[in-house]
Chains A and B, each alone.
Chain A
Amino acid sequence: MAIIERPADTTTTVAPVEEAAPVTATSSYGYLRRPVESTGWRSWAFTVDHKKIGIMYGVVAMFFFIVGGLEAGLIRLQLAGPEGTVLSADKYNQMFTMHATTMVFLFVMPMAAAFANYFIPLQIGARDVAFPRMNALSFWVFLFGGIFLNTSWFLGGAADGGWFMYAPNSDVPFSPTNGVDFWALGLQITGIASLVGAINLITTVLNMRAPGMSLMKMPIFTWMAFVTQMLLLFAIPVITVALFLLMFQRSYDATFFSVEAGADPLLWQHLFWIFGHPEVYIIVLPSFGIVSEVLPVFSKKPLFGYTFVVFSGAAIGFVGWGVWAHHMFASGLGPVSVAVFSVAPLAIDVIFGGAVLGLFAGMYYWWPKVFGKTLSESWGKWNFWLMIIGMNLTFGPMHIIGLQGQPRRMYQWTENRAGEGFFNLGMWNLVATIGTFVLIVGVALFFINAIWIHRRQPVAPLDPWDARTLEWLTTNPPKPHNFDRTPTVHALDEVFHRKYEDVGEGDSHEYVQRSTLDELVLEEEAQADAHIHLPAPSYWPIVLAFGLPIMAYGVIYTTWLIVLGAAIVVAALFGWALEPADAEDADFDPPAAGGESTSKELANV
């Protein structure tokens, strides 16, 4: 809910409040009254609360994780035995393309966005992100883009060119269905979501920090998420150019990648990997941040070499731009490496081990923060062990399979070329398939843990892990306004230093607990700010986002849909611009009473 009304007497020093002149018109701006619901689906659809948006990001990302996981399951079933018949060659191509696309763009990136959205404002002591409406916009654009991309399954077949969609294989003669069109347009839409999110979160980190929260006092997750957003800011426009050229090639007969027209298909590879290499860090850095957040808490020590870790993360952010060509082994740029066939599955292995496990660590660590209850530890252990065993069973054999010469994208392998003994392809393919299903069971345990077991869990203590960072200095789950009093930060690991006092002398440190987190939170409540300003919900983000896939369908099917979609986007933009930054009394239904005791102010968006 947008407004926080707090009795004026909760604090001794109340700043004088000037009320704006009373407004009688209920729609003196824009076209619609502001949404005000605090319950039901409307409270989610029109929300601008970074915590609700973070949860929605997480739920949708998990949904696409299931979709991508089922696609992986089908791929491995097809390859489990010789001459598999589960999928046709065509469906197999679509499956591996959409599996990778879904996992990268619709699971790992939005899942990282979920954590970043939820925890960056909390970790830096802010009430929300810098641009709450734009935050909602990036979520809805991502969701509609992901749905748009996946409707290709029902409209003639999905993209089938592999997730890096090399030219000229991506051109109409080689991929005549609309799959690649859906892919190119869908990723442009999700790219808009990433770009808007990046601008918003970078501004938030740079500008919305609580007093005393200098850059080098920021929790490490916020740092890594910040570097990730910087990478996105500069990587997304490059892939956007590539996708645009591809769209014009396929939909409007340009020849940017046609060899027969004298084009260099390598242009695609350069543009793609200038984006793609930073993308690898975009995928893993948030997880590095989560792991670096979790380990110190459970080791009961500060993060070793915090400064070094921060600068390493920032260095990755720079160096990641110079090395894209190492993805182009087979392009003729340099010596062709035979090892490429084993490097590729290794890369998936690293991404899965580096990114996915880190994200799950974040789930378990922050679950009580977000939902007020811990997840079951015993189910969690089963979840972890099955995932780690399944992951190694799945990706380990692929190194052998690759060295034995089975290309990644052949939809069948044959018994008579499978080899013998330890290096028999058949055995290792079967092991990899079994591994995948172990992995799927492991992930299923997480869902059971999160949805059913979770209900029986007792309410978690306020500080279940003896945590160190600022997001814990509030209730579980946090109130809509995050902090009762805007915290003033004095140290890295602020919450730890509020709980513990250093009684060591000279260079030796000895920490003695002086207070519990419950006491600290009570203290904050007692000294709550009198007037808390929160952004009000808005219709326009979801409306604007809705126009984009309509335009994209128009590019594929019929031009008037482009016009319709653009009209929705423009109308929403004007509604957005005309919606005042301040919610007025008349915006609320029933109209909120004016007076000295309440304040309803919005962030200036």
Chain B
Amino acid sequence: MSDIVADAPEAVEDHAADHGDHGGHGAHGGHHTSLGLSNTKLAMWLFLGSECLLFGGLISTYMLYRNRQGSGPSPDQLWDIPFTSASSFVLLMSSLTMVLAVSAAGRKDDRNTNLWLTVTAVLGGLFVAGQVYEFTTFYREGLGYTDSLFASSFYTLTGFHGVHVSIGIIMLLATVGMVAKNRISGDKAETIEMVGLYWHFVDIVWIIIFTLVYLIPA
């Protein structure tokens, strides 16, 4: 807290200089902030903090109900660990390509930014396709959404995650389009960093889900 106190008065001098920079925005959106962290980045962190509790609630629900399979199939009959490991690996690799996109954006290298954003979106798409395939297989093997508490809570948790990944893909593709047409309002590198934060978060949540749902035996 004390460094915040010490930090604030410096803004007095900064203020007049701020006005000169009105067309473009600097690294922090062209606006001085009390914490030195841009508003967008702070807000994204807050949002992700909130998302932790959303997934926390869903994961708790799954953990409570995962042994209540009724007469339906149980996890050991359903899980195809090699397949899900492969799709998890694909999602993990998408975090690497996302880092490459953020780094390219930091260098103002639009071509590589868009290249890596596209690769990230494709990898994310592969993951979602894998999830759709998996859900279809489980359904054929007798695990309908309402068949048991295990089924409902499994589909709800992983479905929620899948929707998050899909929204991430839409964000990635929209960003590609906006970078290509130079239509990003505000700071380009930071916008891509924000998409990256969200993408990594969704990835980390999947690591937790994969461990708790697939790897630890019920």
Residues of chain A whose beta carbon lies under 8 Å from any beta carbon of chain B: 13, 15-20, 29, 130-131, 195, 198-200, 202-203, 206-216, 233-234, 236-238, 240-242, 244-245, 248, 252-256, 261-264, 267, 271, 486, 488, 529-531, 533, 574, 577-582, 599, 601, 603-605
Known: A16-B20, A215-B1, A581-B186. A261 touches B149 (CB 8 A): yes
**A244 vs B61: C-alpha distance in the bound complex, in angstroms?**
12
Known: A264-B64, A582-B185. A604 touches B178 (CB 8 A): no
- Residues of B1-54 whose CB lies within 8 A of A: 1, 4-5, 8-12, 15-17, 19-20, 22-23, 25, 29-31, 33-35, 37-40, 42-43, 46-47, 49-54
- Whether A578 pairs with B178 at a CB distance below 8 angstroms is yes
- Whether B35 pairs with A206 at a CB distance below 8 angstroms is yes
Task: Tell me the total A-B contact number using a CB cutoff of 8 A.
Answer: 168
- Whether B42 pairs with A207 at a CB distance below 8 angstroms is yes
Let me know if B135 is at the binding interface, CB within 8 A: no
Please give the distance in Å from A126's CB to the nearest CB on chain B.
10
Let me know if B114 is at the binding interface, CB within 8 A: no
**A289 vs B1: C-alpha distance in the bound complex, in angstroms?**
21
Chain A contacts for B8, CB-based, 8 A:
209, 211-214
Known: A211-B15, A212-B9, A604-B31. A256 touches B22 (CB 8 A): no
Known: A213-B8, A488-B9, A599-B19. A207 touches B33 (CB 8 A): yes
Known: A15-B20, A207-B34, A256-B149. A262 touches B68 (CB 8 A): yes
Known: A255-B152, A267-B61, A579-B185. A214 touches B174 (CB 8 A): no
Known: A208-B33, A264-B64, A267-B64. A216 touches B5 (CB 8 A): yes
- Whether B46 pairs with A199 at a CB distance below 8 angstroms is yes
The number of chain B residues touching the other chain, given as a range, is: 35 or more
- Whether B43 pairs with A195 at a CB distance below 8 angstroms is no
- Whether A130 pairs with B50 at a CB distance below 8 angstroms is no
B128-145 vs A, CB cutoff 8 Å, 1 = contact: the mask equals 000000000000000001
A206-B35, A254-B156, A582-B23 known; 11 new pairs, CB 8 Å cut-off, are A18-B22, A195-B50, A198-B50, A200-B43, A203-B42, A203-B43, A206-B34, A237-B51, A248-B152, A263-B149, A578-B178
14 residue pairs from A and B, CB less than 8 Å apart: A17-B20, A208-B33, A211-B8, A211-B15, A212-B9, A214-B5, A238-B56, A245-B61, A252-B145, A530-B19, A578-B183, A599-B19, A604-B39, A605-B186
Partner of B178 from A18, A215, A245, A577 at Cβ < 8 Å = A577
Chain B contacts for A13, CB-based, 8 A:
16
**A256 vs B183: C-alpha distance in the bound complex, in angstroms?**
45
